[in-house]
Amino acid sequence: MTPTFPQRHPASWWAEFEEHAERFDRASVTEALADCITPRIPAMLLRREAEMAVETVLRHLNRPESRGLAERAEDATARLAATVNRIAERSTTEARTAEAYAVCRLLQGSWSEAASIIEPMAGSPVLIRAVVEALRLGSFEADLVVHLLKAGQSPAVATRAGRAVGRYSWWPAWMLSVVTERAVSGTLTDEVVEALQNCAYAELSPAQARMAKRLIAAETQLVEATAYRLEALGEHPAARRLRRGELGTVAFAARLIPV
């Protein structure tokens, strides 16, 4: 069953993505959100003005060192805001300018507020994917962030987790599945990561890898049986560590399983 997001997250929720990112591509998130918002502006002339303002601001964001582009972006945003304000003053319903106002806030730099405004209309999944793309993560990390968000984690937790495990994207699938499961449940500890790191370099066979995954999950009967095997091989210290739940011995124990 796919979890559902609330109809609308506050701007502070969206802002957490940028606050906890190592890199955040403002041009990317501005373009992606604009693509979600501008087609929804009902008045054709206002929509065209918004599209031109977006194009001007994107040129500036892609070349931030250009003073001329910065001035043109500021002027285009101011003109659009003035137009939206005039329409709002004459309108009897706020809904007629909600989308255009969202574009104004987006071009003024308040992308998180724009996302919050447009979310009930565009839907959470498409906006979340657009914002995650702006984090400039690898495909595995980005998918993990989205998965964590669907599981109910906050953007801060999801972004930090995706960034932290990004360096391990070369791990085999069984280890990445452990990372994902642990991250979702909030139990991805340094000890688990270290145990997986040891397994990554141990060149385990498929059977040994399955054993290692079950040992990391602390399956009681398997832990005891493996500890007994270690003792039979004279590895009493390793057996004691395994029984105490010390994951650092998992790779060693798994390697003793016949290939």
Helix axes 236-243, 220-232, angle to 10 degrees: 170
Domain borders along the chain are 11-159, 170-255
- Asked if pLDDT for residue 193 goes beyond 90, the answer is no
pLDDT digits (tens, 9 = 90+) for 49-84: 999 999 999 999 999 999 999 999 999 999 999 999
Query: What pLDDT, on the 0 to 100 scale, is given for residue 6?
Result: 55
Query: What pLDDT, on the 0 to 100 scale, is given for residue 75?
Result: 97
pLDDT digits (tens, 9 = 90+) for 236-256: 999 999 999 999 999 999 998
- Asked if pLDDT for residue 91 goes beyond 60, the answer is yes
Please state, in angstroms and rounded to a whole number, the distance separating the CA atoms of residues 253 and 227: 8
Query: What pLDDT, on the 0 to 100 scale, is given for residue 30?
Result: 96
Rg (Cα) of the chain, in Å, rounded? Answer: 25
Q: Is 5 exposed, middle or buried (0-12, 13-18, 19+ CB in 10 A)?
A: middle
Place of tokens 């964001």: 61
Kindly indicate the confidence band of residue 133, based on its pLDDT and cuts at 50, 70 and 90.
very high
DSSP letter (8 states) at residue 244: T
Best CA proximity match to 117, nearest among 130, 129, 127, 131: 127
pLDDT digits (tens, 9 = 90+) for 16-28: 999 999 889 999 9
The answer to whether residues 154 and 16 touch, using CB atoms and an 8 Å cutoff, is yes
Please state, in angstroms and rounded to a whole number, the distance separating the CA atoms of residues 164 and 209: 23
Supply 127's token pair. Answer: 């906006």
Q: Is 95 exposed, middle or buried (0-12, 13-18, 19+ CB in 10 A)?
A: exposed
Kindly indicate the confidence band of residue 185, based on its pLDDT and cuts at 50, 70 and 90.
confident
